A and B are shown apart, each in its own frame.
Chain A
Amino acid sequence: NAGVTQTPKFQVLKTGQSMTLQCAQDMNHNSMYWYRQDPGMGLRLIYYSASEGTTDKGEVPNGYNVSRLNKREFSLRLESAAPSQTSVYFCATRPSGVSYGYTFGSGTRLTVV
């Protein structure tokens, strides 16, 4: 019972390189989310997908793209990494309904040099 799996756990990129962060859930949840966490800034929503086939921008979408490949998988792509994208990235899912919170993955720590 894995829950939410993020890969990789750590990554170092050079400025201008691209990469994709992967997220997969086995909880059969409709909604999936990508957040970044920076010191003193709390959690900031990058993109979310309310259901398979839909994606929407969050608070800080610039420099990122997402793909909701199927109900299980939601990937985050950095096309041209910048040092400002150094952060810890969390994927989360939640089922439909007002009473439910998120289940988070364990995070990807990304450093852009």
Chain B
Amino acid sequence: GNSVTQMEGPVTLSEEAFLTINCTYTATGYPSLFWYVQYPGEGLQLLLKATKADDKGSNKGFEATYRKETTSFHLEKGSVQVSDSAVYFCALFSGAGSYQLTFGKGTKLSVIP
């Protein structure tokens, strides 16, 4: 079956530090990959996505590259801000008869001034 594994948090960084949140996956077929962000007290919002190998998704300074050879989709940002403090979820959709996304457990990021 499909699965998504994220690095466990929480992650605490100082403002302007470099961020990497690791995500690896197992899936049938050729999945699409997503990163969602959840700010405190809110629902999940789509942050970025990639739909085929070597695609790079980007948004708000965040980037992730779909690496089929390593089955990974790591989230990166060059300089985090306090406002980036949130929970980040990696997810995949494989099609192949499935109707639902498969989510990782989430990684909580706290950015301190």
Per DSSP, chain B at the interface is loop
**B-side interface residues, number (CB < 8 Å):** 24
Instruction: Given the known inter-chain contacts A42-B103, A42-B106, A48-B100, please indicate yes or no for A104 contacting B44, CB distance below 8 A.
Output: yes
Q: In the complex the two chains form, what is the Cα distance from A58 to B100 in whole Å?
A: 9
Complex: chain A residue closest to B95, CB-CB: A98
User: Are A101 and B99 neighbours in the complex by a CB distance under 8 Å?
Assistant: no
User: Are B46 and A101 neighbours in the complex by a CB distance under 8 Å?
Assistant: yes
User: Are A101 and B49 neighbours in the complex by a CB distance under 8 Å?
Assistant: yes
Binding site for B on A (CB under 8 A): 31, 33, 40-43, 45, 48, 50, 56, 58, 90, 92, 94, 98-107
28 intermolecular pairs with C-beta atoms under 8 Å apart? A31-B99, A41-B105, A42-B89, A42-B104, A42-B105, A43-B44, A45-B100, A48-B99, A58-B100, A94-B101, A98-B31, A98-B51, A98-B93, A99-B32, A99-B51, A100-B32, A101-B36, A101-B46, A101-B49, A101-B93, A102-B46, A102-B101, A103-B46, A104-B43, A104-B45, A106-B42, A107-B42, A107-B43
